[in-house]
Amino acid sequence: MNQSLYDAVFCVDVGGQKVDPFAAATIDFGKVVGDMKLGGYEISSLTVAEFIVLHQLDDMRKFKNQIIQEAHDVENRDDVCREKYGLSFKDIDALDPTTDFEFDLKSGQVILFLAHDAQYKEDAYMKLYGQTLQKFCQDTGFMYTKLGEAL
């Protein structure tokens, strides 16, 4: 994609200045857009951000399901999960990244945050996914807001 087309599709005008929500992304942006085109997705800033976020949340869900599956038949699964992940089996099972997280595109910045109904799970998410979220934000340039604080 040439620069003028890229700017026209993805850059947002904020106070007379063009802001690129994907400028800090170190991910393979061309691959993301290519995958979206293959899937027949509309290509816009919002849909690209959504595509990237949903893939991350799906990976988080898969990790949680892997933990649940491994601990399911263990007799002392709460103790095992607390020792290994810092959370009880029940707390891990209550996490649902694909529905608990939301995102928005504001002033040319993609912001990821917990839904209002899930904010009480913030500590559990940070224990289980804190490093993953931090790496995701570094790789994408997106910002995760943790109860008013940027991660």
pLDDT digits (tens, 9 = 90+) for 33-89: 888 999 899 888 889 999 999 999 999 999 999 999 999 888 999 999 999 999 999
Mean pLDDT of 96-101: 96
Q: Which two tokens stand for residue 79?
A: 């103790």
Q: Which two tokens stand for residue 64?
A: 């949680």
Report whether pLDDT(96) > 80: yes
55-59: long-range contacts, CB 8 A cutoff, minimum separation 24: 56/136, 57/97, 57/98, 57/101, 58/97, 58/98, 59/132
Report whether pLDDT(150) > 70: no
Mean pLDDT of 4-17: 74
CA 130 to chain centre: 11
pLDDT of residue 3: 73
Angstrom distance (rounded) from CA 28 to CA 139? 10
pLDDT of residue 85: 95
Q: Which domain holds residue 54?
A: 3-150
pLDDT digits (tens, 9 = 90+) for 100-118: 999 998 877 899 999 999 9
Angstrom distance (rounded) from CA 80 to CA 71? 8
Q: Give me the number of domains the chain comprises.
A: 1
Mean pLDDT of 88-107: 93
Report whether pLDDT(131) > 90: yes
